[in-house]
Amino acid sequence: MVNTEETAGPSAPAQIHSLGSNMTPRERVLAVLQHREPDRVPHFEWVHDRHVIDAITDGGTYDDLIEQLDLDGVVVGPAYRRQALTEGRFRDEWGATRVIGHDDYALVVEELVPLKSEADLERWQPPDPHDPFRYEPLRRAVERHGGRRAIIFQVRDGWSSVRDYMGYAEALAGMIERPDYVEKVVAKCVDHYIAVVQHAAELGADVIFSGDDLATANAPLFSPRLWRRILLPHFQRLVQAIHAAGLYHWKHSDGNLYPLLDSIVDAGSDGIDPIDPMGGMELRVVKARYGSRVAIKGNVDQTELLMVGPAERVVERVKACIREAGHGGGYVCSSSNSIHSGVDPALYRTMVEAIHTYGRYPLDLAR
């Protein structure tokens, strides 16, 4: 079980003893989640592209990148087996047929989704959440970084599962035409992840990071009414289970989340990522409205700035982000989504170095 004196969570917050200049990376992240000022603004990313890692570490590993750049959080997820098929495709343990696309992202083959009918759903079972194989990446991360860096474990919180196992168009249509069916899919998937969270807590995770994109640049993918009717109750179940396990929850979604953000915060999420500027979201606005209730992570532009620079503008954007959201703590400076294959490794390094240089508390806003 979790040692609540060492693993922080809303039910038993860990006390940060070294609020001076010698905090560990883990202490920095936990201080942010507890709305304290750390010794400096922390940094971590929820995804790093393999090519960026290779360039910075000269062919090293993600763990090497963490240590070389002194990142504050280590992000890993559960492992799922793959069955190789023809034409560069594979079938995952959920029954979805996938093909590797851009940035090594495993794209679902829509015409081969496993859930098309009630009969499919009755037969379909998510992967065994108790399989020790699931947790091999987490065990390795805890062995190498545990106790020093925040161990952040990724799961899904509902929508991405429906999208992948029903198909994108069918899932969106189903929200209106078959809401009870869609909710049954969500419930099965969230049940799986609740069990996964419990194992992750026992193995040494500090934070659960759920990454379902709920919005486009203009608006949520579905109305707030449908979100509240179908998805939100199970999102709340997951957040409650995370807290019951003694962990924190950080919610990721691209796009314009403003119409859903009140309900996400009310559900108990402890952090929001990445405050997407392409979705019209602003750090200073989210900080003012929600900064006393949730930690905030973001948002150095990765759609252009981290791709083409120049370096001077990257530094200025880091400084602007810290000015907008760093006061009083509760802030992690990062990209506006992820470190994808188009990010210039040198510019990413510039961003990290600028965070370390200008993110020292007490903040010197004149800098």
Q: pLDDT tens digits for 282-331?
A: 999 999 999 999 999 999 999 999 999 999 999 999 999 999 999 999 99
pLDDT of residue 10: 54
Confidence of residue 54 (pLDDT cuts 50, 70, 90): very high
Contact 43, 333 (CB under 8 A): yes
Of the pLDDT bands very low, low, confident and very high (cuts 50, 70, 90), residue 71 is very high
Q: Which long-range contacts (CB under 8 A, 24 or more apart) does 221-228 make?
A: 221/159, 221/172, 222/172, 222/175, 224/259, 224/260, 224/263, 226/175, 226/176, 226/179, 227/260, 227/263, 228/263
Provide mean pLDDT across the span 221-242.
98
Q: What is the mean pLDDT of residues 336-352?
A: 97
What confidence score (pLDDT) does residue 344 get? 98
Q: What integer pLDDT is reported at residue 143 of this predicted model? A: 98
**CATH fold of 25-79+122-358, please?**
TIM Barrel (3.20.20)
pLDDT at 19: 41
Contact 249, 269 (CB under 8 A): yes
Instruction: Kindly indicate the confidence band of residue 21, based on its pLDDT and cuts at 50, 70 and 90.
Output: low
**Strand order across the 97-100 sheet:** 82-84, 89-92, 97-100, 106-108
How confident is the model at residue 6, as a pLDDT?
Answer: 33
Residue 135 per-residue DSSP state: G
Q: What is the pTM of this model?
A: 0.93
Whether residue 243 contacts residue 9, with contact meaning beta carbons closer than 8 Å, is answered with yes
pLDDT of residue 16: 35
- pLDDT at residue 104 in the model: 75
Arithmetic mean of pLDDT over the chain: 93
Q: Which amino acid is at 32?
A: V
For position 367, what pLDDT does the model report?
75
Q: How confident is the model at residue 9 (pLDDT cuts 50, 70, 90)?
A: very low
Q: Any residues with CB less than 8 A from the CB of 283 and at least 6 apart, and which?
A: 275, 296, 298, 299, 321, 324, 325
- Residue 11, pLDDT > 60, answer no
Instruction: Please state whether beta strands 89-92 and 248-252 pair in parallel, antiparallel, or not at all (unpaired).
Output: unpaired
Q: How far is CA 270 from the centre of its chain?
A: 12
pLDDT band at 188 (very low <50, low <70, confident <90, very high): very high
Task: Tell me what the mean pLDDT of segment 146-159 comes to.
Answer: 97
**Does residue 145 sit in helix, strand or coil?**
helix
Q: E strand or H helix at 243, and its extent? A: helix 232-244
Structure tokens at 362: 């007490």
